[in-house]
Amino acid sequence: MSLANEFIQNPWDSPFHETRLSAIKLRIRWPGYPYGDSVYAIHVKCQDEIRRETQMTLTRCEIARAIARLYQSFLQHCREEPWVVEDPRYPFDPKRLYLVSLENIYGDMFQAVINVDP
């Protein structure tokens, strides 16, 4: 999954700073495959290792990187299964995936909107 800071609106903002959420759930839906509806946790707030009383909140850029790593792990897991992720006539390259946005489904559940670059 590609990530370029210049394409993220306000990449250093912390969108979860003013919320009570310390973690969000990312739902990955890949219809037609086992594990095609999976949920993963992203910790959006963590303890500052220097000042223990301060919580650090992930920036948009860091959240995008976390989402990219989860998609990479998800797709790797899919490739290890006895079924095929892609049609051999149309080779699939995860580097062609682009994060468009992160949508709140409800509560702490989010889903990434992903496009595939042709």
pLDDT for the residue numbered 2: 40
Backbone angles phi, psi at 68, to 5 degrees: -60, -45
Q: How far apart are CA 61 and CA 15, in angstroms?
A: 10
Residue 4: pLDDT band by 50, 70, 90 thresholds?
very low
b (16+ CB within 10 A) / e for 87-111: eeeeeeebeebbbeebeeeeebebb
CB-neighbour burial class of residue 76 (10 A; exposed 0-12, middle 13-18, buried 19+):
exposed
Residues 97, 78: contact at Cβ < 8 Å?
Answer: no
- For residue range 42-66, what is the model confidence (pLDDT) as tens digits? 988 876 666 555 567 888 889 999 9
> Chain-centre distance of CA 94, in angstroms?
13
pLDDT for the residue numbered 111: 94
pLDDT for the residue numbered 53: 58
The answer to whether residue 1 scores a pLDDT higher than 50 is no
Strands 109-116 and 23-29, by their bridges, are parallel
The whole model's pTM is what? 0.77
- For residue range 5-27, what is the model confidence (pLDDT) as tens digits? 446 677 788 888 888 888 899 99
For residue 32, give Cα distances in angstroms to 4, 65, 76.
30, 26, 16
